[in-house]
Amino acid sequence: MMIDTQKIIFKIMASTNANRLIYYFKRIPFLGRLLPERIYRNLALKKNAAILAFILKVIRKVMGDALMIAILLVVPVCLLETNQNGRYAEYLHVFLMINAIAPFLTSSIFNANRDQYICIQLMHINAKDYIVSTVLLHEIGDIFYLLPSVLFATVWMGGTLLHGFLLTALLVGFSLIGETFFLLFYCKTNIMLNKKAQFVVPVGILCLASAYIPLVLHRPLPLENLLFHPLFLILMLALCTGCVLIILRCNQYHKIASKNLKAFKFMLNGDEILAKAEFDDVALKEKNFSKSDLQSKKFEKKKGFAYLNAIFFERHKLLLVKPVLIRIVCIAILWVAAVIASHFIPDFADKFSNANAILPLFVFVMYFLSLGERICKAMFLNCDISLLRYPFYREKNAILSNFKVRLFEIAKLNFVVAFAVSAAVLGLALVCRLNWPTSSMLLFVLSIFSLSLLFSIHHLFLYYVFQPFTAELGMKNPFYSIIHYAVFFLCYLCTKIKSPPSFFTLTVLAVTLIYMVAAVILVYKLAPKNFRVK
Amino acid sequence: MQLEIKNIEKSFGSKNVLSGINFTFEQGKIYGLLGRNGAGKTTLFNCLSGEMEPDNGQAFLIGEDGHKAVLAPEKIGYVYATPVLPEFLTGYEFIKFYMDINKEHLLPGKTADDYLELVQINQDDRHRLIKGYSYGMKNKLQMLCFLISKPPVMLLDEPLTSLDVVVALEMKKLLREMKQDHILLFSTHILQLATDLCDEIVLLNNGTLEQIDHSMIHEPTFEENIISLLKDESKS
């Protein structure tokens, strides 16, 4: 039964994946034209495309798992433990802590995705058959995907091949226990625990802390004898068998599937689900507004685009103010940590003794702290996607005046963050008695604010000129991504600059000014053509 | 006033959807654009409204004084099959914003409330988010936009297809009242709607437009004639 279900699912997915592969290949400039439209009808070729898509998936999985093991296990152990002999014990410690605790962070049973939507909602495959067979197959598949990298890492760290095999099996066993835990919890309480931040965040912190703190202190748990002890292995086997039985016997899958898919806010078109999920964090919720909020004529005196944007930013206040608050809290925590550190580490403050040296680093910091893409997404989904259908909204002057109002609003939010950064850094300088000259302080603050303005312009400018979001896929324009990476790289390069602060501030000011003028001109010239629903 | 379409062509890949559309529409009449599903009705509307670039051809607006100008997007009101409205605004706020943008077209002394009264959206609903509006209310709001901005050409893409009987009747009444000052193109694949509301029927078939003889519309065999026309031409 399960195998039949998986065969059907495999066929559906093979066909979907082949179509998707062909679809994306056709979108590659020049090359895409080589494939004619009728290619979708060529079943033999599609079979090959499905096989290719499957091979690509396997390669992606194996590489992904190898990368994960390298980043989480091998690299930290090698970096922190220079003594070759101690490495294996530390590797085993980190391996156990990460793999035994991380399964309590995510669950594939409670994770709705496009495949689940297609199979259960559209193809009417029995929810229990689908979920159970997919989860079990997922676990079995993981053995094969993980085996090469775990074997390699274990042997490289000083273990044996047998240990590598056993560790792979343990890893999958832990993941099965995690799935069963979430399932049992749901059956008892009706709560999807993997979606509760108050559970996931502490578990995540516990996972990282228990894995890496002993590593830093060179005090790994002596696990070699425990992990490979026959009794422990038999116990794990019994536990996993129990888990499989629980998963097979549970009868709540229909409820789980409908809850999963409802949470997904799906639409009829399979691909739109993904877009919706991506946009979900910027969507507007009606229940957040009271009747008096909606009736108030607070902005009645404003006109046109100023009126529109005033209401837009008012209604999205929750969505926009939250990230600002999170940033301020993070800055505050870092500030307190830095003050404490400066007390205990004698030469800590020396690094900040010169405003000159740290200023370029703040280009990078401000790049990360400035809000932009999320606001642009919200603007697109909740406002522009509909209004762009009206010709008046696409007129040059309308676009420009809308751009200016929005730039002002985004800059306002980013200035709050800029203020927090300036206050934190100057405060730290005062607490550590660094005696920065007033001129340095002023130049510092001026630089931070103009960087903040620069990045506000940057995000909005890219949105207007490239309009990277699409109504269906939320896919990005390649040029948009290229420019984003280029700017990221430039910001990174700035961390290498060594120049007097006055010169640096002047450069930032000049770049901001030039960018602003160029943005306004380019938006006026290019946006009427590019700023539309694609 | 006339809308003249000259040799508009559009194809997607190897599929030729519009193959040389030539037609002249006149003010004061409701034209029913009739075609089977996928005949290219929406594509034609998208080409006219500027949402899509035609591969070839152009549309012109000829004024009462005989002045001929290329059809600009702002001269068109496009009523979509699924209404598109900014859902974070209330109906009242949207109409107020729309009035600000179209100040020059407003009737003197009219307020947002007066306009909303016109399409019978009641006081309570006016101050609710458009997100929560029913389909019919969204449709009325969209129509109201064009009552305000009065674009000379109005394209209606199957607007009545999914409305309930009461709203559909209100909309029909509204369209009949508006037709004197506009060129109205009404696309549908429902024959009944076309014969009921439209003054002229135009068939879109095999990528071209063809006007049906006016006298045929009220003949008892009209339906059969149209169906045989659509079937024959798609075979040819």
The pLDDT tens digits of the residues spanning A397-437 come to: 889 888 999 999 999 999 999 999 999 998 888 888 777 88
> Which residue ranges form the domains of chain B, and what is each CATH number?
2-235 (3.40.50.300)
Residue in the structure block whose two tokens are 């901001």:
A512
Q: 3-class SS at A222?
A: coil
pLDDT band with cut points at 50, 70 and 90 for residue A16: confident
- Closest residue, chain B, to A395 (C-alpha): B74
Q: 3-class SS at A480?
A: helix
Q: What is the side-by-side strand order in the sheet with B56-62? A: B15-26, B2-12, B56-62, B68-70
* A502 in Cβ contact with A371 (< 8 Å): no
Q: Where are the alpha helices (DSSP H) in B78-134?
A: 91-101, 112-118, 123-126
Per-residue confidence (pLDDT) for residue A471, from 0 to 100: 62
Residues contacting residue A420 through CB under 8 Å, at least 6 positions apart: A327, A328, A331, A332
Q: Which helix (H) or strand (E) holds A200?
A: helix A197-216
- Closest residue, chain A, to B88 (C-alpha): A382
pLDDT band with cut points at 50, 70 and 90 for residue A511: confident
pLDDT band with cut points at 50, 70 and 90 for residue A214: confident
Judging contacts by C-beta atoms under 8 Å, the chain A residues touching residue B88 are 284, 311-312, 315-316, 382-383
pLDDT at A95 over 70: yes
pLDDT band with cut points at 50, 70 and 90 for residue A486: confident
pLDDT at A489 over 90: no
Nearest to B73 among A294, A303, A391 (CB): A391
Please state the φ and ψ torsions of residue A285, each to the nearest 5 degrees. Answer: -115, 125
* B87 in Cβ contact with B122 (< 8 Å): no
pLDDT at A199 over 80: yes
Cα A436 to Cα A90, A334, B225, distances in angstroms: 45, 20, 90
Amino acid symbol at A64? G
Per-residue confidence (pLDDT) for residue A477, from 0 to 100: 64
pLDDT at A278 over 60: no
Q: pTM to 2 decimals?
A: 0.65
Per-residue confidence (pLDDT) for residue B3, from 0 to 100: 92
The minimum CA-CA distance between A396 and chain B, rounded to whole Å, is 12
Judging contacts by C-beta atoms under 8 Å, the chain A residues touching residue B99 are none
Contact: B90, A294; criterion CB under 8 Å: yes
Closest CA to B77 of A223, A389, A133, A345: A389
Closest CA to B71 of B84, B85, B57: B57
Residues contacting residue A382 through CB under 8 Å, at least 6 positions apart: A282, A283, A284, A312, A316, B86, B87, B88
Q: What gap in Å lies between CA A472 and CA B51, rounded to an integer?
A: 17
Per-residue confidence (pLDDT) for residue A478, from 0 to 100: 67
Task: Tell me which residues of chain B have a C-beta less than 8 Å from any C-beta of chain A.
Answer: 13-15, 49-51, 72-74, 76, 78, 80, 84-90, 93, 96-97, 100-102, 127-129, 131-132, 145, 149
Cα A251 to Cα A263, A516, B107, distances in angstroms: 20, 60, 64
Closest CA to A320 of A264, A396, A377: A377
Per-residue confidence (pLDDT) for residue A1, from 0 to 100: 63
Judging contacts by C-beta atoms under 8 Å, the chain B residues touching residue A399 are none
Per-residue confidence (pLDDT) for residue A25, from 0 to 100: 74
Q: What region does A437 belong to: left with phi over 0, alpha with psi -120 to 50, or beta? A: beta
Which residues, in sequence order, are bridge partners of residue B61? Answer: B3, B69
A175-193: average pLDDT: 93
- What DSSP string describes A346-386? TTTGGGGS-HHHHTTHHHHHHHHH---HHHHHHHIIIIIHH
Per-residue confidence (pLDDT) for residue A287, from 0 to 100: 66
pLDDT at A270 over 60: no
Query: A226-249 pLDDT, tens per residue?
Result: 889 999 999 999 999 999 999 999
The better pLDDT of the pair B72, A38 is held by B72
A322-337: average pLDDT: 90
Closest CA to B75 of B95, B44, B98, B102: B102
Per-residue confidence (pLDDT) for residue A390, from 0 to 100: 84
Q: 3-class SS at B129?
A: strand
pLDDT band with cut points at 50, 70 and 90 for residue A474: low
Judging contacts by C-beta atoms under 8 Å, the chain A residues touching residue B145 are 390
pLDDT at A188 over 80: yes
For B223, other C-beta atoms within 10 Å of its C-beta total 12
Per-residue confidence (pLDDT) for residue A284, from 0 to 100: 64
Residues of chain B with pLDDT under 50: 235-236
Nearest to B88 among A304, A382, A398 (CB): A382
- What DSSP string describes A89-125? HHHHHHHHHHHHHGGGT--STT---HHHIIIIIIS--
Per the document, the length of chain A is 534
Q: What gap in Å lies between CA A150 and CA A204, rounded to an integer?
A: 22
pLDDT at A123 over 60: yes
Please state the φ and ψ torsions of residue A23, each to the nearest 5 degrees. Answer: -60, -45
A290-309: average pLDDT: 81
Please state the φ and ψ torsions of residue A284, each to the nearest 5 degrees. Answer: -95, 135
Task: Count how many Cα atoms sit within 13 Å of the Cα of residue A492 in the half-sphere of its side chain.
Answer: 6
Per-residue confidence (pLDDT) for residue A222, from 0 to 100: 85
Q: What gap in Å lies between CA A444 and CA A510, rounded to an integer?
A: 15
Per-residue confidence (pLDDT) for residue A417, from 0 to 100: 94
State both tokens at A60: 């992606």
Query: A134-179 pLDDT, tens per residue?
Result: 899 889 999 999 999 999 999 999 889 999 999 999 999 999 999 9
* B36 in Cβ contact with B234 (< 8 Å): yes
Query: Which pairs from A328-332 meet CB under 8 Å and 24+ separation?
Result: A328/A416, A328/A417, A328/A420, A331/A417, A331/A420, A331/A421, A331/A424, A332/A420, A332/A424
Contact: B86, A315; criterion CB under 8 Å: no
For A68, other C-beta atoms within 10 Å of its C-beta total 13
Contact: A308, B14; criterion CB under 8 Å: no
Q: What gap in Å lies between CA B18 and CA B93, rounded to an integer?
A: 39
Which residues, in sequence order, are bridge partners of residue B204? Answer: B209
- In degrees, rounded to 5, the angle at the alpha carbon of residue A395 between the alpha carbons of residues A389 and A396 is 140
Beta strands per DSSP E along chain B: 2-12, 15-26, 30-34, 56-62, 68-70, 76-79, 153-157, 183-188, 200-205, 208-211
Query: A343-387 pLDDT, tens per residue?
Result: 777 777 776 777 767 777 888 888 889 988 888 888 888 888 888
Residue in the structure block whose two tokens are 């094969």:
A144
The minimum CA-CA distance between B50 and chain A, rounded to whole Å, is 8
Residue in the structure block whose two tokens are 């499957």:
A54
Q: What gap in Å lies between CA B32 and CA B185, rounded to an integer?
A: 6
Judging contacts by C-beta atoms under 8 Å, the chain A residues touching residue B128 are 294
Dihedral of CA atoms A466, A469, A471, A472 in degrees, nearest 10, equals: 120
In a mutagenesis test of the A interface, which of B101, B145, B156 is the best target, namely the one with the most A β-carbons within 10 Å?
Answer: B101
User: What ipTM did this prediction achieve?
Assistant: 0.79
Per-residue confidence (pLDDT) for residue A298, from 0 to 100: 80
Contact: A308, B89; criterion CB under 8 Å: yes
Nearest to A295 among B86, B87, B127 (CB): B127
Judging contacts by C-beta atoms under 8 Å, the chain A residues touching residue B78 are 389
Residue in the structure block whose two tokens are 């458009």:
B130
Q: Which helix (H) or strand (E) holds A426?
A: helix A396-431
Per-residue burial over B177-200, b = 16 or more CB atoms within 10 Å of its CB, e = otherwise: ebbeebbbbbbbbebebbbebbeb
- In degrees, rounded to 5, the angle at the alpha carbon of residue B133 between the alpha carbons of residues B129 and B134 is 175
Judging contacts by C-beta atoms under 8 Å, the chain B residues touching residue A316 are 88
Judging contacts by C-beta atoms under 8 Å, the chain A residues touching residue B85 are 386
Q: What gap in Å lies between CA A532 and CA A523, rounded to an integer?
A: 13
Closest CA to A226 of A163, A181, A173, A174: A163
Nearest to B76 among A304, A307, A391 (CB): A391
Strands B30-34 and B15-26: unpaired
Contact: A392, B101; criterion CB under 8 Å: yes
Cα A70 to Cα A77, A158, A514, distances in angstroms: 10, 15, 44
Per-residue confidence (pLDDT) for residue B222, from 0 to 100: 78
Angle between helices A396-431 and A361-369 (to 10 degrees): 120
Residues contacting residue B82 through CB under 8 Å, at least 6 positions apart: none
Q: How many CB pairs under 8 A join A and B?
A: 67
Per-residue confidence (pLDDT) for residue A317, from 0 to 100: 83
Q: What gap in Å lies between CA B97 and CA A217, rounded to an integer?
A: 63
Task: Tell me which residues of chain A have a C-beta less than 8 Å from any C-beta of chain B.
Answer: 36-37, 284, 286, 289, 291, 294-295, 300, 303-304, 307-308, 311-312, 315-316, 382-383, 385-387, 389-392, 394-395, 398, 532
Which residues, in sequence order, are bridge partners of residue B33? Answer: B187, B202
